[in-house]
Amino acid sequence: MVVMVLERVPQSLRGELTRWMLEVRTGVFIGTLSQAVRSRLWEKVCAGMAGGAGTMICSARNEQGFEVCFWGDPSRSVIAFEGLQLVQTFVAP
């Protein structure tokens, strides 16, 4: 299972994603993809964001059962802590 949340991206990119995934809300895509297709699609999404931001959540063989990837949003990042993925939010001073 793969979920992608895209913000401020071109409509053409969203249209491209609808070939592979279902857009359940504006910018929220869900689907079942192989690892190879998921990787190539995420690379294409990251290259075509044009200043937007994206988050991908996908199934993984780890303690949490999923993996989180961010692109284009510097206010959040994923950090590893004792084998878990945690989201770190940066707050402006």
In the chain, the domains with their CATH numbers are: 2-89 (3.30.70.240)
2 or 85: which leads in pLDDT = 2
Report pLDDT digits (tens) over 58-87.
Answer: 998 888 889 888 898 767 788 888 888 888
**Average pLDDT rounded to a whole number, residues 11-33:** 94
DSSP 14-57: HHHHTTTSEEEETTEEEE---HHHHHHHHHHHHHT-TT-EEEEE
Q: What is the pLDDT of residue 77?
A: 80
Q: Is 56 within 8 Å of 68 (Cβ atoms)?
A: yes
Q: In this predicted structure, what is the pLDDT of residue 35? A: 92
pTM of the predicted structure, to 2 decimals: 0.84
pLDDT of residue 17: 93
Q: Which tokens in the block code for residue 62?
A: 């780890």
